[in-house]
Amino acid sequence: MSARTFLLLLRNEWFKARKRLSLWLPLGFYAGIAFLMYGEDFFLDRIALPGVWSTVFQGERVIALFIFATLSFLMLTTMEFSWRTARQNVIDGLSKSQWFWGKALVIPLLGVMYCLVHAGIPGVMALIRTDVGAATGPLLPASVFAAAGGLLLGFACVTSLGFFLSLAIRNTGAAMGTWFLWTMPLEGGIIPELSRRYLHPDLPTYLPFQNSVRLANLANYDTAAYERLAAAAEQAGRAPPDVPNTGLYVVIAVVWIVLLLSASLVWFRRRDL
Partner 1 sequence: MTVIETEGLTKRYKALRGEGTLAVDQVSIQVERGQIYGFLGPNGSGKTTTIGMFLGIITPTAGSFRLFGGSAPRELHAARQRIGATLEHPNFYPYLSCRDNLKLVARVKGKGEEDVDEALRVVGLAGRWKTKFKACSLGMKQRLALAGAMVGDPELIILDEPANGLDPAGQREIRAILAGLADRGKTIFLSSHILHEVERTCTHVAIVERGRLVRHGSVGAITSVQTVAAVRADGVELDALRSAVSSFKGGDEVRTAGDSVFVKLSRDSGVAELNRFLAGQGIYASHLALEKQSLEDAFLEITGGSDGFGEVQ
Rounded to 5°, the CA angle 89-94-99 comes to: 75
Give the residue from 94, 135, 121, 131 showing the smallest Cα distance to 29: 121
The only residue of 12, 55, 58, 195 in contact with partner 1, by rule CB under 8 A: 12
CB of 22 to partner 1, least distance (A): 10
Q: According to the binding rule CB under 8 A, does residue 28 interact with partner 1?
A: no
- Closer by beta carbon to partner 1, 197 or else 270: 270
| Smallest separation (angstroms) from partner 1 to the CB of 139 | 41
Three-state DSSP at 121 gives helix
Between 89 and 183, CB nearer to partner 1: 89
Provide the minimum distance between the beta carbon of 149 and partner 1 in the complex, in angstroms, as a whole number: 31
120-145: b (≥16 Cβ within 10 Å) or e: ebbbebbeebbeeeeeeeebebebbe
End-to-end CA gap in the chain: 22
Q: Rounded to the nearest whole angstrom, what is the least distance from the CB of residue 136 to partner 1 in the complex?
A: 51
Nearer to partner 1, 7 or 112 (CB): 7
Q: How far apart are CA 268 and CA 130, in angstroms?
A: 50
Among 3, 19, 137, 235, binds partner 1 (CB under 8 A): 19
Residue whose CB is less far from partner 1, 1 or 142: 1
- Is residue 166 within 8 Å of residue 70, measured between CB atoms? no
> Among residues 145 and 267, whose Cβ is nearest to partner 1?
267
d(CA 151, CA 115): 8
CA distance 172 to 155: 19
Site size toward partner 1, by CB under 8 A = 24
The stretch near partner 1 (CB under 8 A) out of 35-43, 70-78, 85-93, 188-196 is 85-93
From residue 110 to residue 139, what is the string marking binding to partner 1 with x (rule CB under 8 A)? ------------------------------
Taking CB under 8 A as the rule, which mask of x and - marks residues 37-76 in contact with partner 1?
A: ----------------------------------------
- Least CB distance to partner 1 at residue 94 (A): 5
85 binds partner 1 (CB under 8 A): yes
The residue type of 139 is L
Residues 86-105 touching partner 1, rule: CB under 8 A, are: 87-96
Q: Which of 126, 117, 123 is nearest to 144 (CA)?
A: 123
How far is the C-alpha of 108 from the C-alpha of 120, rounded, in Å? 17
Candidates 1, 14, 20, 124; binder of partner 1 (CB under 8 A) is 20
Taking residue 40's Cβ as centre, other Cβ atoms within 10 Å add up to: 10
Let me know the angle formed at the C-alpha of 58 by 251 and 77, rounded to the nearest 5 degrees.
65
Binding site for partner 1 (CB under 8 A): 8, 11-12, 15-16, 19-21, 83-85, 87-96, 270, 272-273
